[in-house]
A and B are shown apart, each in its own frame.
Chain A
Amino acid sequence: MKWWLIAWREIRWEVFLDRASLLRTAIFVVIPIFFVFGNRGLPGGQAGEATIVALALQSVFFPSLAGVSLIAATFTAEKENGTLVPLLAAPIRDFDIVLGKLIGMVAPVLAACAVTLAAAYALASYRYGAERIAHTLTPQLIYALLVLSLLYLVTTGSVTMIVAARVRSSRAAQQLAGLVIAISAAVFGGLGVVASQLADGWALVAVGVLLVFFDVGALEIARRVWQRGEVIGRI
């Protein structure tokens, strides 16, 4: 359970005490709520329902973007400050370090996603009527949206960690994170649209399961790319 020690340290001392990352996350939390607030009216029927779902999707997706950026910075910041060496000298498996860092970033961002979704739900209920919103955003759909954001975060986070392990500076990592965000958003969106058209939507479940396997694989690749010799050499 040493990954939990690393994750908790990240959450308590790095995420919540880093004003820049807090500000960035706050901006990504406010944007989707602003979209709900700024939307003047909803069309009736399926078009209106689609708009409500799109607003809810934005509410979990935008804070996730901040998470990818956070994950990109975590490894490079440690490399820049040399703080990885004491961690590497401690009796911890490399996988625990990688997992702990990922969870330390994903957990607070997922909480931000949940808070944004709740705020968007409350605001939409106030503006468009609670009954209409409750009819469209069922508990199952909300659960699915949160799972989707978790999958997105872990997947893009793992890929970002692989990329960040290869670069020297936080700045380069942030730039690469932008690239990962753009590509992953396109791939996620494309896969989602295609899968939703197949087998009455069951293909979406298959995509979800595939993503879980992909994430485990990506974490292992991150661990291997992030070789001790490589990291030490770069430090």
Chain B
Amino acid sequence: MIEVRNVTRRFDGVVALADASFEVRPGEIVALLGPNGAGKTTASRIIGGILAPSEGDVLVDGISVRVDPNGVRARCGFVTDQPSLYDRMPLLEYLAFFARLYDVSSPDHRAVELAKLLGLDDVLAKRLGAFSRGMRQKVAIARALVHDPPVLLLDEPATALDPEMAQTLRSFIVSLRARHRAILLTTHDLDEAQRIADRVVVLYKGRVIRIGATSEIRAGGKPSYLLAFAGEASAARDALSRIGIEAQPAASEDGLAALRFATDDPRRTNGAALRALLDAGIEVVTLAAEERSLEDAYLAILAEARQ
């Protein structure tokens, strides 16, 4: 549905996006991650036909953003971190205005339908300037959905929303995935990305440095293991050190001590570790694989990129 092909974008000679390529398929949520200034917003704006690429091309639903930017815009719904509404307009008029811009056949009907969908039907006649932050973000989402686009570009949609509202928004985004929308989610909220993204694209200094399924990205790198035991942590570390395992202290629970170590070969290392600890008189309670969070994986990817 979205194909980004070797896209480069420069602003006054500064490269904001460099030879970026990735795709988003129908019924898929792809999280676009990266530090500030990595080119995430530029990428989503190019995909949405708001900005033209300096080089390369983007195909949305088979339409080139270079050849037919209006065709691309007609197929994309765009939500930014700031709702950016016309404060003097009432909700119904606002949504109907955008419905007309997108050539929707029954603008007023569509506006009412969307307001109902997002729980805003009781404030249709109210001016947008009087809306709360959460309500304004809902309006921005309704505006993006007004033409029922096959592609949704969400740029920090949950910024400044309270946790309950953010949860509601997440559920809504997931429901859109079920309706075969291709969704590109630009976010700094790695917890949100971990929960709903099928795949992840990591940008750093305008370049794509990692693409993969969320589960693959989380599983990348050395698997790490957590040991919980009764006894002295220093004695346990010494015992592991003697067989070449460098363990680090970890947060302990239930009065037990804990150590964390990473290994490429858990079959060999874990058995050896257990034997070494038992030989040293340490009472091992559990040895469990640690699941890396997307945040840990992302930080590791960035650290690697910086090196």
Contacts and interface: CB of A to CB of B under 8 A. Distances in A.
Interface in A74-102: 81-83, 85-93
Contacts of B87: 81
Contact of B89 (A13, A82, A93, A229): A13
A89 B88 contact: no
Given A5-B100, A85-B80, A232-B50, A93 B11 contact: no
Given A5-B101, A14-B88, A93-B70, A88 B11 contact: no
Interface in A1-54: 2, 5, 9, 13-14, 17-18
A9 B73 CA distance: 21
A194 to B, nearest CB: 42
Interface string B44-70: 010011111000000000000000001
Contacts of A228: 50-52
A88 B11 CA distance: 18
Q: How large is the interface on A (under 10, 10 to 19, 20 to 34, 35 or more residues)?
A: 20 to 34
A3 B11 CA distance: 29
A233 interface: yes
A83 B84 contact: yes
Nearest to B14: A233
B98 interface: yes
B50 A88 contact: yes
Contact of A89 (B71, B78, B97): B78
A86 B144 CA distance: 9
A86 to B, nearest CB: 6
Nearest to A1: B100
Residue with the highest number of chain B CB atoms closer than 10 Å, among A18, A89, A92, A229: A89
A91 B88 contact: no
B85 A89 contact: no
Interface residues of B, number: 30
Residue with the highest number of chain A CB atoms closer than 10 Å, among B48, B70, B100, B101: B101
Nearest to A88: B50
A81 B52 CA distance: 23
Contacts of B80: 82, 85-86
Contacts of B84: 81-83, 85-86
Contact of A91 (B51, B71, B82, B86): B71
Contacts of A13: 86, 88-89, 93
Nearest to A93: B70
A150 B35 CA distance: 51
A104 to B, nearest CB: 13
B102 interface: yes
B37 to A, nearest CB: 13
B76 interface: yes
Contacts of A83: 84-86
B102 A91 contact: yes
A49 to B, nearest CB: 45
B302 to A, nearest CB: 25
A90 B86 contact: no
A91 B74 contact: yes
B143 interface: yes
Contact of B49 (A82, A87, A89): A89
B9 to A, nearest CB: 8
Contacts of B98: 86, 90
28 contacts: A2-B101, A5-B97, A5-B101, A9-B86, A9-B97, A13-B86, A13-B88, A13-B93, A82-B80, A83-B86, A86-B78, A86-B84, A86-B98, A89-B49, A89-B50, A89-B73, A90-B73, A91-B71, A91-B74, A91-B102, A91-B103, A92-B101, A93-B70, A228-B50, A228-B51, A228-B52, A232-B45, A232-B50
Given A82-B80, A85-B78, 6 more contacts: A2-B101, A81-B84, A91-B71, A92-B70, A228-B50, A233-B11
Leading 8 A-B pairs by shortest Cβ distance: A82-B84, A89-B78, A91-B74, A91-B70, A91-B73, A90-B101, A17-B88, A88-B50
